[in-house]
Structure 1
Amino acid sequence: MTQTLHKIKDKTPMNVTAQLSMLWLIVMFNMIYADILAFISAFITPGVIDELMSGYSGSVKLSQKLLLISAILIEIPIIMIFLSRILKYQINRWANIIAALLTMLFVIGGIETNPFFLFLASIEILVMFYIIFIAVRWQNPQNLSN
């Protein structure tokens, strides 16, 4: 047992690009699960299916334009999983900061009052704050070798 704990402590820390990519995965898994639970919730909450069938979600009129905007905004964290690994330092750093801010606005803009959604959205926002924190503190790897 102590050997196992010793191996865990001695493990080399994950590089910044891998950390950022993993954090974007956490954001995406939370977003996906929030959508799955919202879908399930629609079936168990009286009147929600009828409301959606009428073309509304609450006071929001559903349209192809709105769905396209949502698809574009959800693509940001999806593509950041990959881009966090391949972009060069300076672009990567700013891309993560900007993507996290835009995605936070998207999450906050779509906020619902269901407890499961508030919980998952809180996790998403906390993780994105952490992404920003890492990106802001990230030092140029080339400067470290000097």
Structure 2
Amino acid sequence: MNETMRKFGYPATLVAEFDHWAVLLRPAQPTLGSLILAAKSDATALSDLPAEAHADMHQASGAIERALAAFTGYAKINYLMLMMVDPHVHSHVIPRYEGTRTFGGLEFTDAGWPKLPDLGSAVALDDAQIAAIVSALKPHFA
């Protein structure tokens, strides 16, 4: 596992795992169910990943979309490959929806809807909230 994965809370935030990818809960949630799709390698450019990782991304993204559809009922989904601060290949996966979703007594409003996601309006989760959402999401990946 690479440092970018650890920064996003691995292993506590691990929701699902594929041969070349890990799906992590994003500790700061701009919308409910926001994830990180992180390459397990030390690659810092998408083109540096082996062909097998690109094929495995297809499986991972399909699983993410099915799981988040069941968990949040999103209207759209955004994959943001920013990699400005955290250098290893990863995408921020932001389920988009109009209005608010609730989980564990917290409200998650898509502040940017219907335009760009507002990452600055994210709900910061504590360890117990992370564990609860991870536990709720995992069965959707089975």
TM over 0.5: no
| Structure showing the higher strand proportion among its residues | 2
TM-score normalised per structure 1: 0.28
Larger C-alpha radius of gyration, 1 or 2?
A: 1
| Structure showing the higher helix proportion among its residues | 1
Report 1 or 2 for greater relative contact order, CA contacts < 8 Å, sequence distance ≥ 6.
1
TM-score normalised per structure 2: 0.28
